[in-house]
């Protein structure tokens, strides 16, 4: 069976890496990888960390490109790849513009689509934007749906997807996380190198890890996020580490408001090894990332989610994550609660992991093999 895996962003690459590895190990498959290239450097870091090789690179990276630029580039570039390779399945992941565009391109070529991480829904087409629409559109044309959880499975059934086309797998990000945690915690040069690289962290302080990149927060939302971090950093027992996304809409407010603030460390985006190391070391995480909502509970790290809604309500319902929006007061009050209330912290660091057991990739390729 010929399988073409398509991805373009750092989170997609992390979540697809275990699937690509499983396909490459299995003699039942011929595997081809196509990257769209819209996250050029961040994607390259993940490819290197997971020893992935791109057979085709659409090289779509442009400064400040629009969603329409990305979609048009994927459709035009991938159409020729599908025509030449003639895959039995095109595999896409999640809710990005590249996943949606790739799924439509495959459908228009009458090629089956497998949707990894299917069925996540908020019910609000504009939150998260444009991810909710991307995921729904991908689901309409998919032949096989791989939801990570029971809630996602039920959402697909409610939309009329046949149960025979759904295989609940868990989330592949947990496969990737286990792979990386095993490596960074094992004695040896990798762990020693990471400890040396981050020796500037103060072990006497509680470290808060921050990430932020979502389009719907650009503008006033990001300013409030930054102002909240300034307020939290006033505490002498805390230090904040913020790997800052390269998007100019993120860089501008972050540099204006947070640069030079005591106990706030603004650092470049990290490859997956380094990011998992900081997740493993931190006290808790403040993020708007979907993937981090899935990963952090698996290593007992509370998560404050800077979004109005989440398509990953399993973490909220399990009590290991909280929605705090981009409102300054809500972010600050919830962060202080975790810092000052030991019972609240312990409850969120319970270890409940609703997103998988690390075997999602094998379930996916077995479903593909059955057709």
| 2-171+357-370 and 188-348 have identical folds | yes
Residue-by-residue DSSP string for 299-343: TT--EEE-SS--S-HHHHHTTSEEE-TT-HHHHHHHHHHHHH-HH
Q: Is 215 in the active site?
A: yes
Tell me the mean pLDDT in the region 267-281.
94
The pLDDT score that the predictor gives to residue 240 is: 98
Mean pLDDT of 111-115: 98
Question: Cα(216)–Cα(125) distance, rounded to whole angstroms?
Answer: 12
| pLDDT tens, residue by residue, 210-259 | 998 877 778 788 899 999 999 999 999 999 999 998 888 888 999 999 99
Asked about 213 being catalytic, the answer comes back as yes
The CATH code for residues 188-348 is: 3.40.50.2000
Phi, psi of 241 (to 5 degrees): -115, 125
For the chain, the distance separating the N- and C-terminal CA atoms, rounded to the nearest angstrom, is 9
Residues 303, 182 contacting (CB under 8 angstroms): no
| pLDDT tens string 321-368 | 999 999 999 999 999 999 999 999 999 998 778 899 999 999 999 999
Mean pLDDT of all residues in 7-12: 90
Which superfamily is assigned to 2-171+357-370 in CATH? Glycogen Phosphorylase B; (3.40.50.2000)
For range 301-317, the mean pLDDT: 91
**Which pLDDT value is given to residue 4?**
98
pTM for the whole structure: 0.86
Out of 46-50, 58-62, 106-110, 318-322, pick the least confident.
Answer: 58-62
Token couple for 114: 């497998």
Cα-Cα-Cα-Cα dihedral of 255, 259, 264, 267, to 10°?
A: 60
Quick one: pLDDT at residue 61? 77
Contacts of 308 by beta carbon, 8 Å cutoff, 6+ apart: 127, 323, 325, 326
Active site residue 26: no
54-57 long-range Cβ contacts below 8 angstroms, 24+ apart? 56/32, 56/81
Out of 12, 45, 95, 311, which one is annotated catalytic? 95
Q: Residues 117, 175, 308, 311: which is the catalytic one?
A: 117
Strand order in the sheet with 56-57: 56-57, 30-35, 2-7, 89-93, 112-116, 144-146
State yes or no: is 265 an active-site residue.
Answer: no
Q: What length is written for the chain?
A: 371
- Weakest mean pLDDT among 135-139, 288-292, 301-305, 327-331: 288-292
**What per-residue string of b and e applies to 279-316 under the rule 16 or more CB within 10 Å gives b?**
bbbbbbbbbbbbbbbbbbbbbebbbbbbbbbbbbbbbb
Q: Is the pLDDT of residue 39 over 70?
A: no
Tell me which of 245, 273, 274, 307 is the catalytic residue: 245
15: its two tokens: 């979540």
Residue 95 falls in the annotated catalytic set = yes
Residue 266's SS3 state is strand
Q: If you average pLDDT over every residue of the chain, what do you get?
A: 94
Q: What is the domain partition of the chain in residue ranges?
A: 2-171+357-370, 188-348
Which residue's entry shows tokens 């559109």?
Answer: 137
In this predicted model, what pLDDT tens digit does every residue of 142-191 receive, in sequence order? Answer: 999 999 999 999 999 999 999 999 999 999 999 999 999 999 999 999 99
Catalytic residue check, 327:
no
Are the CB atoms for 19 and 5 separated by under 8 Å? yes
**Torsion angle of C-alpha atoms 113, 271, 285, 191, degrees rounded to 10:** 120
Query: Dihedral of CA 77/80/86/88: which sign?
Result: positive
pLDDT at 124 over 80: yes
pLDDT of residue 247: 85
Q: Which of 215, 265, 280, 281 is an active site residue?
A: 215
């Amino acid at each position: 069976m010929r399988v073409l895996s398509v991805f373009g962003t750092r989170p997609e690459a992390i979540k697809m890496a275990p699937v690509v590895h499983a396909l490459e190990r299995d003699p039942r498959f011929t595997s081809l990888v196509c990257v769209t290239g819209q996250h050029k450097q961040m994607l390259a870091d993940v490819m290197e960390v997971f020893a992935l090789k791109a057979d085709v690179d659409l090289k779509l990276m442009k400064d400040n490109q629009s969603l329409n630029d990305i979609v048009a580039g994927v459709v035009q570039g991938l159409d020729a790849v599908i025509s030449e390779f003639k895959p039995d399945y095109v595999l896409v992941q999640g809710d990005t513009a590249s996943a949606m565009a790739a799924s439509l391109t495959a459908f228009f070529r009458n090629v089956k689509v497998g949707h990894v991480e299917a069925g996540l829904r908020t019910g609000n087409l504009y939150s998260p934007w444009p991810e909710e629409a991307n995921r729904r559109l991908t689901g309409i044309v998919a032949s096989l749906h791989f939801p990570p959880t029971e809630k996602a499975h039920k959402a697909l059934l409610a939309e009329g997807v046949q149960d025979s086309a759904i295989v609940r797998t868990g989330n592949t990000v947990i496969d990737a996380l286990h792979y990386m945690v095993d490596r960074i915690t094992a004695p040896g040069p990798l762990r020693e190198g990471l400890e040396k690289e981050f020796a500037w962290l103060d072990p006497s302080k509680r470290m808060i890890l921050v990430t932020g990149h979502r389009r719907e927060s650009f503008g006033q939302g990001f300013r409030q996020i930054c102002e909240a971090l300034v307020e939290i950093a006033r505490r002498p027992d805390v230090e904040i580490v913020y790997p800052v996304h390269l998007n100019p809409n993120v860089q501008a407010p972050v540099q204006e408001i947070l640069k030079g603030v005591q106990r706030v460390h603004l650092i470049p985006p990290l490859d997956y090894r380094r990011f998992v190391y900081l997740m493993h070391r931190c006290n808790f995480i403040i993020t708007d990332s979907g993937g981090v909502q899935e990963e952090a509970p698996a290593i007992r790290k509370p998560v404050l989610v800077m979004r109005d809604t989440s398509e990953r309500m399993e973490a909220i319902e399990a009590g290991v994550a909280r929605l705090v929006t981009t409102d300054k007061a809500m972010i600050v009050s919830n962060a202080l609660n975790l810092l000052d209330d030991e019972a609240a912290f312990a409850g969120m660091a319970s270890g409940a992991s609703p997103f998988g057991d690390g075997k999602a990739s094998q379930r996916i390729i077995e479903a593909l093999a059955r057709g």
